[in-house]
Chains A and B, each alone.
Chain A
């Protein structure tokens, strides 16, 4: 099937009325939760996972994907108007976006964020279309050692590329693997850590767990502290006021292109995603600018680059999931959960066995990006007003969604307890600087990692050689090892250099 035939097949699925409605619902909800500080896309997707039971798999993923990239659009609005990032990926947009707004260029900042996001989203999708099919074909040759190496590298990257402490991230990843091993052994079907209870035989359920970690923990955060919102800048009244002037366009267009490329490349890496890509894109723009002093004082490139990068990263984040079955970030781990709820394991076979699903999901993102552009430009001032709803009303809504969602898994109050336990854990873990993303990613990847490790060892009769003699697994494990070794070498060489400097300073 040629690329054009594949796209035609995809659009025939994504343009179905039901899928258009789910796509619209997803991007609209994504924009609203992107605007709201405190409730992220991961929490919203976790809360909506139970609702996808009754949808087709394609419709479910179309809606959940819409929430994700929609939140990236919405996140910029509060960053620019309130200096409150609705999403972590919009933190860099606050810096210059709010300064532009204070100087009376709120419209231009919002406009360039929306248009830049649209261009980057489309470029990211083009990259996804070009990269995903050959990668899926390549991945067909993967055996257990390659899958083990891939999961090991994924978890290492998540831990090392995150924004917090590496030992804490690694501890959370190991904990996620441990929790993922509760229940029946995937190879011999013997019970582990079930303590004689029937409820734990099938393992810890993903839905109550993620609803607790992302939904209930947010409830507790909101109860704990009131969000403080800085002065809201007046929103532009007309559509024309959202258009940047000629000079702003000239400055922004290159940043949009570079931001899109950076976002695409960084978004593929496990653990990196929209947040890291926006930091990298901002840093690159500042470094290559002839006037770096403008950054932080309302440079339009400082809005265009990070906003383009985080949108492009949302598209490329789908590549590892759809082609290898490996989620690149926590949102993709939840998407994997949504696939698995419907009995489908994404991976290299998805493209050949379910091309209508593969291409339907991808083409829906073209439509969703277009919907977002049309939605965002005229409705920005309306979305900004959402932030004025008191958090007192969010708490019961999220809490109720969590309890109904958890109860609905098995119609059993036990799952509400599970959700609550993970909610309390997630709340205190985040307060202590322990990131939740490695935990969820490891929990989802754990069974694949264990099965591929044990299968590899059984096939090689206990030899670890195949992990290092098979080229793909050797490269992947080599990169993972390098990540572990580099900080140690850097620290040792730093200590050596300071000792040399001290001995030279002595007479």
Chain B
């Protein structure tokens, strides 16, 4: 991708921050601002939400960094990134129902074999040690990971 598109990322991020700050200001309208003598619950959040909007606007207006700060985005890399994000979101949604072992085994297979292109042997070792191994270790350390369908 071109440098121009990479530069755009900084602007988009600044615009998103401005929108977030404005949304926070709107949400804070329910909170009592108070006075300088008796600052209310909303006193500090409203001030810092204004600061978010002001500084993000300055960041939006500033000249893009010539190099270093903002990076360009490669299309193939982004597809892999969003595949991992989606997999983790599904993982978080299923971990209680399917259990740690099954959901982690599927996640690790995806990360090792499909994303990382590890060997079949490396994938098998990673999947088994990461799912059954971690379950065994962490439950004995006192962390109650969900047993799910393979609970033992």
Contacts and interface: CB of A to CB of B under 8 A. Distances in A.
Q: Are A and B part of the same complex?
A: yes
Contacts of A334: none
Contacts of B80: 223-224
B151 interface: no
B31 interface: yes
Interface in A439-460: 446, 449-450, 453-454, 457-458
B149 interface: no
A483 interface: no
A21 B81 CA distance: 38
B48 A181 contact: yes
B84 interface: yes
B44 A454 contact: yes
B55 A420 contact: no
What bracket does the count of chain A residues touching chain B fall in? 35 or more
Contact of A434 (B13, B45, B95, B115): B13
Interface string B81-96: 1001100110111011
Interface string A421-434: 00110011111111
A423 B68 CA distance: 21
Nearest to B113: A392
A458 B93 CA distance: 46
A17 interface: no
B101 interface: no
A395 B49 CA distance: 35
Interface stretch (A61-69, A369-377, A399-407): A399-407
A393 B130 CA distance: 11
Interface string A373-404: 00000000000000000111101100110011
Interface string A309-327: 0000000000000000000
Interface string B6-25: 00011011100100110010
A331 B68 CA distance: 23
B56 A396 contact: no
Which of A188, A396, A399 lies at the interface centre, i.e. has the most chain B CB atoms within 10 A of its CB?
A396
B102 interface: no
A461 B52 contact: no
A178 interface: yes
Nearest to A415: B92
A54 interface: yes
B121 interface: no
A102 interface: no
Contact of B52 (A171, A424, A431): A171
Contacts of B89: 417, 420
Interface in A222-260: 223-225
Contact of A431 (B9, B20, B35, B43): B9
B143 to A, nearest CB: 5
Contacts of B27: 193, 195
A432 B13 contact: yes
Interface in B115-141: 115-118, 122, 126, 130, 134, 138, 141
A399 B107 contact: yes
A71 B77 CA distance: 28
A432 B24 contact: no
A400 B126 CA distance: 11
Interface in B25-75: 27-28, 31, 35-45, 48-49, 51-52, 55-56, 58-59, 62, 65, 68-71, 73-74
A165 B65 contact: yes
A167 B55 contact: yes
Contact of A185 (B41, B77, B117): B41
A427 B71 CA distance: 11
Contacts of B36: 457, 462-464
B28 to A, nearest CB: 8
A390 B40 CA distance: 54
B111 A396 contact: yes
B145 interface: yes
Contacts of B38: 458, 462
A24 B100 CA distance: 31
A175 interface: yes
A413 B39 contact: no
A457 B116 CA distance: 56
A403 B88 contact: yes
Nearest to A461: B37
A417 B37 contact: no
Contacts of B51: 170, 174, 177
Contacts of B92: 403, 413, 416-417, 420
A399 B110 CA distance: 12
Given A175-B20, A395-B84, A423-B85, 10 more contacts: A168-B69, A177-B44, A395-B111, A400-B130, A403-B95, A413-B92, A413-B96, A453-B44, A454-B44, A458-B37
Interface of B: 9-10, 12-14, 17, 20-21, 24, 27-28, 31, 35-45, 48-49, 51-52, 55-56, 58-59, 62, 65, 68-71, 73-74, 77-78, 80-81, 84-85, 88-89, 91-93, 95-96, 104, 107-108, 111-112, 115-118, 122, 126, 130, 134, 138, 141-145
Interface of A: 54, 164-165, 167-168, 170-171, 173-175, 177-178, 181, 185, 187-188, 190, 192-193, 195, 216, 219-220, 223-225, 390-393, 395-396, 399-400, 403-404, 407-408, 411, 413, 416-417, 420, 423-424, 427-434, 446, 449-450, 453-454, 457-458, 461-464
6 contacts: A54-B142, A392-B118, A417-B89, A430-B71, A434-B59, A461-B37
